[in-house]
Amino acid sequence: MKLGALGAVTLAFVLLGSACGDGNGSAVTPTSNPDVTPLSFTGRIAFVSDRDGNNEIYTVNADGTALTNITDDPGHDAAPSWSPDGSRIAFVSDRGGDNEIYIADADGSDMTKITDAPGNDTDPAWSPDGSRIAFMSDRGGDNEIFVAGVDGSAPTNVTNNPANDGQPSWSPDGLRIAFASDRGGNHDIHVMDADGSAVTRLTTNPAADNQPTWSPERRGTGIKGRPDPLRRYGRGRDD
């Protein structure tokens, strides 16, 4: 009882401190000073469109300018994944007859096919340090997650399970991979070490759970600049 009350008082102080703007949460306010560059929506968006009759990957500035078709091929091009430094894009294309993973510079130049296997190679996901690509392949007969170098070197089957395993998403530290698998009878979310060990099943719902995406390292309340008071005390949220 006493501890609970103390905890509530402490939490109230934390919330008050956050609201007042402490050292970690300096407020970001718009400026009308023309000499100061305002917060701008920089960067580019990659997306897939069939506007030319087949799927291509396009990029566009976040203000809608400079639309560019970076694939421009009669094949089916899809599933763009940016390199962590934003200089390259991994994607899937069937231009060679079946789905393979390609990597190109962000403007579409210097395109390289990094897989060369029968069947589907899809779901490319760039490791946070930019050195590896995780992807799904059914080259062995069922869907498995492979991890390879960004040049396609040393593709390694890290799931090795007769079920369907796919949709890899790296943890921010690059040590773990979240993925979907139906090894429990239906699709559920799992995590494993990046070498395939230490698999943990996170969901057990009989419905289909798919498309996990690991959050970036920084976490907060969802309010810009305001830290999560629960996280500060090491308490997890029930997600």
Binding to Ca ion by residue 182, rule CB under 5 A? no
| Dihedrals phi, psi of 8, to nearest 5 degrees | -65, -40
Coil, helix or strand at residue 10: helix
Binding to Ca ion by residue 123, rule CB under 5 A? no
Instruction: Let me know how long the chain is.
Output: 239
d(CA 89, CA 83): 6
Binding to Ca ion by residue 54, rule CB under 5 A? yes
d(CA 55, CA 150): 23
Binding to Ca ion by residue 144, rule CB under 5 A? yes
Toward Ca ion, which CB reaches closer, 161 or 221?
Answer: 161
Binding to Ca ion by residue 98, rule CB under 5 A? yes
Stretch that binds Ca ion, among 54-62, 103-111, 169-177, 231-239 (CB under 5 A): 54-62
Give min distance, CB of 204 to Ca ion, in A: 19
Toward Ca ion, which CB reaches closer, 144 or 209?
Answer: 144
Toward Ca ion, which CB reaches closer, 8 or 198?
Answer: 198
Helix ranges, the chain (H): 2-20, 229-232
d(CA 193, CA 112): 28
Binding to Ca ion by residue 161, rule CB under 5 A? yes
Stretch that binds Ca ion, among 81-89, 105-113, 117-125, 189-197 (CB under 5 A): 117-125
d(CA 92, CA 38): 37
Closest of 176, 203, 171 to residue 187, by C-alpha: 203
Which residues sit at the interface with Ca ion, rule CB under 5 A? 54, 56, 73, 77, 98, 100, 117, 121, 142, 144, 161, 165
